Amino acid sequence: MCDIGKKGTSIKCCGVKEKRPECFPIEIPDDDPYFKTDCLNFVRSAEAVRLDFSPAKLQKLLLVSNKPIDLLDQPLTFWFMLILCAFLCSFDTGPREQINQVTSYIDASAVYGSNKKAMDELRLFKNGLLKTSKFEMLPPQNNGACRLTHKNEFCMLAGDFRVNVVPNLSILHLLFVREHNRIAKKLGKLNPMWNDERIFQESRKIIAAYIQQISYQEYIAEILDQETLCRYKLRTTIKGFNHVYNDTINSSIRNVFAVAAFRFGHAQITSSVLYYKQNNDIESRILEDTFHNPHMVQDKHGRHIPDLGRWIVYDKSIKADRCMVSAVRDKLFIDKEKRSFDLAALNIQRGRDHGIPPYVKWRTWCGLSKVTSFDSGLYPLIDHDRKTILKLKKAYKSVRDIDLFAGGISEIHLPGADVGPTFACILGRQFQALKEGDRFWFEIENYKTGFTKG
Ligand code: HEM
Ligand SMILES: [Ca+2]
């Protein structure tokens, strides 16, 4: 999300005389249990042009005084003018769209960056290695926005700009950088004729395959139920090839996936970050102290990294229900002046910023039962418990107003899943597109871009 103004300064939308067009601040009601101010800063996502060549749009262009033109009877210049016009006209029409900052494909872009320039900055250009700093840590970045509380600590650089948000995220970035370098060293030894470029790309191919396999077989298989996994063909093969690629599938990230469904993980965030020590001792820090603070990772030259790793491996994640911990609901990115954000509110407002249709519309899109009322009549809410329905009724005047994030996160989970039916459908469809529309998917047989039979 872009909230950078001129010369890299943040855009202020609260307490300013003249609001900029990018501003869409959240009004805070007087009875808010935490916030004492009346305004929460919110900057709209950068807008993009939507090139609209839909049949409806073209038909509109072809109508002259409400009479359709005979298409078969037109000279070549007409077609040229038509295409030019469609292109130019689309610049100022159509709904507002947003821009992606990272590649949609599950291509290890969090490790290597989303473009060549970013990748080159991360490479050592020697023996296929990625850059690290002293004690095999991530390399430093100069203009990162970190809260440095201890001497000699630094903001870290990785393939994704969110690397410093919380320590448990930072160590996952680090894990894959170290693994890349471990593989690169092995490949270099096994293939003395390979140059830096070949070792680097082959190692990258392996890391990307690891991440695809872990995402589908370990993660998605855990968060979704068997039926959804089957319906959207999300399982990967254990052995051999799987020719899943379909060049008609659009693998980009659906707006609804990014602004609502995949944010279900925000309800799994815990209030503390823990060290699970080797001697079974547990140490914890409150989450809000760890935002953008590399201390837990870099303390004692990274001695606690395995302790953080043990925590994320051994501890069960919490249920993704409608409750979010105070550390992100009240104290997200809290600063010295005690200014903070509310992640649930940001999610809902981001949905409105991007113009996402409401909860009930997504149910229809997913082929789920119609909803026309909260708890009465022919089509009431059927995937929420009684207490939640009452809460939704209190918050929204009409059932048609329920924002997708609010309606989706509070659904009763499908058996064996971490989400309810609406989010399961949106996640399932997105993950299917990310797999079947990926020419470099790791299960595809291709001697250059894929793997040989093992
Ligand atoms: C402590 C952990 C986390 C923090 C502090 C955090 C914070 C944030 C923030 C501040 C945003 C931008 C909100 C906005 O302005 O719209 C965001 C976006 C998002 N988050 Fe999280 N998040 C965390 C964990 C997670 C997890 C575990 C998941 C999913 C499993 C997740 C999924 C997403 C998604 C999909 C977006 C939208 C990204 C985009 O459109 O570019 N987050 N998160
Ligand atoms: Ca990517």
The ipTM value here is 0.99
**Is residue 263 in contact with ligand 1, taking CB distance under 6 Å?**
yes
| pTM of the model as a whole | 0.91
For 43: left if phi > 0, alpha if psi spans -120 to 50, otherwise beta; the answer is beta
Confidence band of 77 (pLDDT split at 50, 70, 90)? confident
- Give the dihedral of Cα atoms 414, 419, 423, 424; nearest 10 deg: -50
- The single-letter code of the amino acid at 94 is G
Judged by DSSP in three states, 26 sits in: strand
Mean of the pLDDT values across residues 7-33?
Answer: 89
Distance (Å) from CA 162 to ligand 1 centroid:
9
**The pLDDT of residue 125:** 98
**Quick check: 113 and 159 in contact, CB under 8 A?**
yes
Residue 333 alpha carbon, nearest atom of ligand 1:
5
**The pLDDT of residue 51:** 65
- The single-letter code of the amino acid at 395 is A
Confidence band of 69 (pLDDT split at 50, 70, 90)? low
Checking if the pLDDT of 1 tops 50, the result is no
DSSP 262: G
Quickly tell me which residue has 């890391």 as its tokens: 207
Query: What is the per-residue burial (b if ≥16 Cβ within 10 Å, else e) of 105-117?
Result: bbbbbbbbbbeee
Confidence band of 78 (pLDDT split at 50, 70, 90)? confident
Query: Residue 342: which of 11, 35, 19 has the closest Cα?
Result: 35
Query: What is the per-residue burial (b if ≥16 Cβ within 10 Å, else e) of 398-431?
Result: ebeebbbbbbbbbbebbeebbbbbbbbbbbbbbb
For 240: left if phi > 0, alpha if psi spans -120 to 50, otherwise beta; the answer is left
User: Which two tokens mark 442?
Assistant: 């790791």
Confidence band of 174 (pLDDT split at 50, 70, 90)? very high
* Pairing state between β 47-48 and 97-98: antiparallel
Q: From the CA atom positions of the chain, what is the Rg in Å?
A: 25
pLDDT, tens digit, for every residue of 350-371?
A: 999 999 999 999 999 999 999 9
Confidence band of 79 (pLDDT split at 50, 70, 90)? confident
pLDDT, tens digit, for every residue of 371-385?
A: 999 999 999 999 999
Going by C-beta distance under 8 Å and a sequence separation of 6 or more, which residues neighbour residue 226?
416
Residue 275 backbone phi and psi in degrees, to 5: -105, 125
Residue 166 alpha carbon, nearest atom of ligand 1:
1
Checking if the pLDDT of 65 tops 50, the result is no
Mean of the pLDDT values across residues 329-350?
Answer: 96
Residue 332 alpha carbon, nearest atom of ligand 1:
5
Checking if the pLDDT of 182 tops 70, the result is yes
Distance (Å) from CA 276 to ligand 2 centroid:
30
**Quick check: 91 and 200 in contact, CB under 8 A?**
no
Mean of the pLDDT values across residues 174-200?
Answer: 98
**Quick check: 294 and 335 in contact, CB under 8 A?**
no
Distance (Å) from CA 347 to ligand 1 centroid:
9
Measured CA angle at 124 (ends 119, 129), to 5 deg:
90
The per-residue pLDDT of the chain, averaged, comes to: 92
Query: Residue 161: which of 115, 124, 125, 202 has the closest Cα?
Result: 115
**The pLDDT of residue 80:** 79
Mean of the pLDDT values across residues 380-409?
Answer: 98
Pocket probe for ligand 1: among 22, 215, 253, 263, the residue whose CB has the most ligand atoms within 8 Å is 263
Q: What pairs with residue 140 in β-bridges?
A: 156
Confidence band of 453 (pLDDT split at 50, 70, 90)? confident
CB atoms within 10 A of CB 94: 14
**Is residue 328 in contact with ligand 1, taking CB distance under 6 Å?**
yes
pLDDT, tens digit, for every residue of 107-125?
A: 999 999 999 999 999 999 9
Residue 350 alpha carbon, nearest atom of ligand 1:
16
**Quick check: 350 and 258 in contact, CB under 8 A?**
no
Distance (Å) from CA 207 to ligand 2 centroid:
13
Query: What is the per-residue burial (b if ≥16 Cβ within 10 Å, else e) of 191-202?
Result: eeebebeebbeb
**The pLDDT of residue 237:** 85
* Pairing state between β 39-40 and 26-27: antiparallel
CA distance 127 to 380: 62
**The pLDDT of residue 87:** 65
Nearest CA to ligand 1 atom 19: 263
Give the closest ligand to the alpha carbon of residue 253: 1
Give the closest ligand to the alpha carbon of residue 438: 2
State what percent of residues in the chain have pLDDT above 70. 91
Distance (Å) from CA 156 to ligand 1 centroid:
19
**The pLDDT of residue 3:** 45
Pocket probe for ligand 1: among 168, 266, 291, the residue whose CB has the most ligand atoms within 8 Å is 266
